[in-house]
Every structure is written in C-alpha cells, then in structure tokens.
C-alpha cells in the first residue's frame, strides 16, 4: 500500500510532467498515456489522482497561476508583479511554467482570466505610480494604454517560439532580455514616428466619424 507521502509525491510529479507536456505539445495533442510514460507511472495512477485529463489540466492551470500571482506561493521570491520577470531570469528552471502560461492565455480558461486580470492590475499599479511621479505623458484613454502595455509585456511569453525562430535565440534568456530592454523602452519613451501626421490624421478621421453618427450612437443607414 502506498503511503500518503508517496501519493503526494506521485501527484506532484504527474502534475509537473503534465505541465511540461501540455506546454510543449499542447493540450489536445497530449494523452494521459504519454504523460504517464514521461512521469514513469501507470495511466491508472493518473486516473486515481486526477480522474481525467480535464481535471488534470485544471490543476496544472491552478498551479501555474499560483506560481505567478499568489502571494503565499514562494517558489519565486519576488513581488507579485515581478514574478514573470524573475522567472525569465531563470529559464532553465521556469521555462516550462512560462510556456504553459503562454498556451493557457491563448486557450482561455477561468484560471487564465484570473492570471491576466492580475497582470493587468499590476501594470495599472505601476503606471499609476509613474503618473504620480510625473514620468508619464498625458493619455487619451488610460485604460486602453494600460491594456496595450500589458500586451507588450506578454508578447515575448506568448510568442516565445516565433521570436526565437526569427531572431535565432531565445528572447526570454538573460541575453535576449538584455537585447529587448532598450528597444522596448525606446518604443515606450519616444515611439517610432518622427512626426505627428498619422496621429493627427487618425484623430481627425475619428472626430469626423463621431460627428456623422446619430445621437443614439447607431451607424448611419442602419435599420430603425
């Protein structure tokens, strides 16, 4: 008979193996049998601990979210908003968690929504602090700007493989992060356009469009 500690160890090993497999191959392409083979356990033991693949995935989701946003989780010793950055500096250890996070955000789930909302809130807090110190330019739509800054930060996580293919190296490695730092800050600080012509044109076009809309906001020519 297995002891309680053996059961806990096997459960954690299965979960961690599943995280690596789901991150590498995708949820649909990964079977319980392949996870069992990689974890060196029987498929029956996975069923014993988790019941089915959906339940196993839910536990993997919860574990990865806890690593990056739960204050009581001490796997990464960093403030909540800095945990992804801290993990990026230890890709050898946390790479599977980051890859799983990227897949989870793309697939969508309650856990992914919770994670994204926490990252968005962290970005908002940072921008609020920077606004208070006078570091930020005025924003026409602070909520949208906060969302865009969050997406810029998540881009290398979600598109890690594509960035590595194009640039020839892992941009989440320490060298890759160093390479991204100045161009990212240049983009956020100075932008890329040397004139305001596109911005002015967009503002004018949107203002004209607003004037053409009926008072109730419905498009012209729509059925009444």
Model confidence over 72-85: pLDDT tens digits? 444 444 444 455 66
This prediction's pTM = 0.69
- The answer for residues whose C-beta is within 8 angstroms of residue 83's C-beta and 6 or more apart is 67, 68, 69, 76
pLDDT of residue 148: 92
Q: How far apart are CA 11 and CA 6, in angstroms?
A: 8
- The answer for residues whose C-beta is within 8 angstroms of residue 219's C-beta and 6 or more apart is 213
Do 13 and 100 sit in the same domain of this protein? yes
The answer to whether 99 touches 88, Cβ cutoff 8 Å, is no
The better pLDDT of the pair 220, 70 is held by 70
What whole-number percentage of the chain has pLDDT above 90? 21
Model confidence over 158-182: pLDDT tens digits? 888 888 888 887 777 777 777 888 8
Q: What is the CATH number of the domain that holds 135?
A: 1.10.357.10
Residue 184 lies in a domain: yes
Do 76 and 156 sit in the same domain of this protein? yes
C-alpha distances in Å from residue 187, one per residue of 19, 183, 184: 34, 6, 5
On the question of pLDDT at 1 being above 50, the answer is no
Q: How many domains does the chain have?
A: 2
| Structural domain of 28 | 9-160
Do 112 and 208 sit in the same domain of this protein? no
Do 137 and 182 sit in the same domain of this protein? no
Residue 33 lies in a domain: yes
Q: What is the mean pLDDT of residues 100-114?
A: 82
Do 88 and 124 sit in the same domain of this protein? yes
pLDDT of residue 203: 86
What average pLDDT does the structure give for the chain?
80
On the question of pLDDT at 25 being above 60, the answer is yes
> Which among 25, 89, 88, 87 has a CA at the least distance from the CA of 57?
25
């Amino acid at each position: 008979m297995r002891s309680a500690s053996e059961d806990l160890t096997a459960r954690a090993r299965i979960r961690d193996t599943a995280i690596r497999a789901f991150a590498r191959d995708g949820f649909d392409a990964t079977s319980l049998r392949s996870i069992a083979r990689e974890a060196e356990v029987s498929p029956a033991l996975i069923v014993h601990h988790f019941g089915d693949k959906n339940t196993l995935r839910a536990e993997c989701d919860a574990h990865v979210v806890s690593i990056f946003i739960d204050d009581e989780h001490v796997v990464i010793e960093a403030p909540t908003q800095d945990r992804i950055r801290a993990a990026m500096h230890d890709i050898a250890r946390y790479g599977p968690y980051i890859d799983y996070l990227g897949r989870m955000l793309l697939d969508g789930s309650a856990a992914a929504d919770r994670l994204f909302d926490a990252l968005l809130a962290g970005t908002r807090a940072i921008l609020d602090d920077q606004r208070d110190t006078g570091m930020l330019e005025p924003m026409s739509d602070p909520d949208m700007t906060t969302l865009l800054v969050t997406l810029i930060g998540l881009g290398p996580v979600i598109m890690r493989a594509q960035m590595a293919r194009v640039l020839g190296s892992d941009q989440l490695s320490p060298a890759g992060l160093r390479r991204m730092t100045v161009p990212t800050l240049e983009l956020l600080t100075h932008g890329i356009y040397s004139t305001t012509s596109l911005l002015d044109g967009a503002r004018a076009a949107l203002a004209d469009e607003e004037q053409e809309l009926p008072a109730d906001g419905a498009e012209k020519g729509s059925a009444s």
